[in-house]
Amino acid sequence: MHPMLNIAVRAARTAGKVIVRSMEQLDKVEVESKGTNDFVTSVDISSEEAIIETIRKSYPDHTIIGEESGILKGSDDDYQWIIDPLDGTSNFIKGIPHFAVSICLKVKGKLDQAVVFDPIRGELFSASRGKGAQLNGFRIRVNKNKEIAGTILATGFPFKHKQHSVAYMAMFSNLFQKSSDMRRSGSTALDLAYVAAGRVDGFFEIGTKPWNTAAGELLVIEAGGLVTDFTGGHNHANSGNIVAANTRILKDVLKEIRPHLGDALSK
């Protein structure tokens, strides 16, 4: 295992222990609102602190970009750790056991190492650039479906961007009619990991953040899939509008959502 991936795994497992312990005492978890339909818990903060401490022990000069801490700039900015300490906070708050720790390392602007860890199921998804993707040490690949009929697609509702709800529902309707079924799980990181593992055939969402998607993106790419924005370009890290699937399914998804984009989503 790459030494930096090893540190990411260690950090994710440490954070996972914090989350699982807190899950057993949900009544003691403090919840605050960061904005409309956007929540943070004391566990998000404790988990992020545990991740940062683990990374800093080995790589004190690296930059860390955390969902809760923001940008902690290091003296060696070529190395950037992008972390979501608890992706699926709303699930966690409600006691729904579906959430993950997401940690990604960018080296000179390129996705290099990735970990998505589901502490409830004990599932560790990992990837190193050019080395493939794994689930608990076994190689994973995206599904090889050649057409959208018969597929199961995952999605995330635009709950923080409800101004796009009409466009989103039109996209959803098109894809629902063409596919076998749709899933909305509440964790973007796990949705992307599930695409990489072939559990779902594709994924799309409006308004994601880099800490939700960076690790999952590398997982999908290393599992043989593609990740783009809604126009098939590569602006998804900035726009937050993301599609992930194998080459043929991605092309079909883009075709179905394209008529509903408008100016705001064509970025």
Please check whether residues 132 and 12 belong to one and the same domain: yes
Domain end position, chosen among 76, 106, 139: 139
Which amino acid is residue 140, in one-letter code? I
- Its domain, for residue 159, covers 152-260
**Residue 173 half-sphere exposure toward CB, CA atoms < 13 A:** 8
210 within some domain: yes
**201 annotated to a ligand binding site:** no
Task: Render pLDDT for 142-187 as a digit per residue (tens, 0 to 9).
Answer: 999 999 999 999 999 987 777 878 989 999 999 999 999 999 999 9
Domain end position, chosen among 118, 139, 160: 139
Residue 46 CA, chain-centre distance (Å), reads 20
Max intra-chain CA distance, the chain? 51
Please check whether residues 41 and 19 belong to one and the same domain: yes
Residue 27 clears pLDDT 90, i.e. is over it: no
pLDDT confidence of residue 39? 67
146 within some domain: no
Please check whether residues 133 and 53 belong to one and the same domain: yes
DSSP classification of residue 258: G
How many other C-beta atoms are found inside a 10 Å radius of the C-beta of residue 120? 15
Band the pLDDT of 26: cuts 50, 70, 90: confident
147 within some domain: no
d(CA 267, CA 265): 5
Percent of residues, the chain, with pLDDT higher than 70: 96
Band the pLDDT of 193: cuts 50, 70, 90: very high
Strand 138-140 vs strand 133-135: parallel, antiparallel, or unpaired? antiparallel
**111 annotated to a ligand binding site:** no
Least confident segment among 74-83, 91-100, 153-162, 238-247: 153-162
Please check whether residues 34 and 127 belong to one and the same domain: yes
Residue 104 CA, chain-centre distance (Å), reads 10
Number of domains composing the chain: 2
| Residues 6+ positions from 40 with CB-CB distance below 8 Å | 31, 32, 33, 34, 68, 89
pTM: 0.94
Please check whether residues 177 and 107 belong to one and the same domain: no
101 pairs with which residues across the strands? 117
d(CA 189, CA 116): 7
Band the pLDDT of 30: cuts 50, 70, 90: confident
d(CA 45, CA 159): 22
Please indicate whether residue 189 or residue 33 has the higher confidence score (pLDDT). 189
181 pairs with which residues across the strands? 152
- Per-residue pLDDT, averaged over 43-57, amounts to 94
Please check whether residues 88 and 135 belong to one and the same domain: yes
**252 annotated to a ligand binding site:** no
Please check whether residues 170 and 108 belong to one and the same domain: no
**219 annotated to a ligand binding site:** no
CATH number of residue 58's parent domain? 3.30.540.10
Please check whether residues 18 and 91 belong to one and the same domain: yes
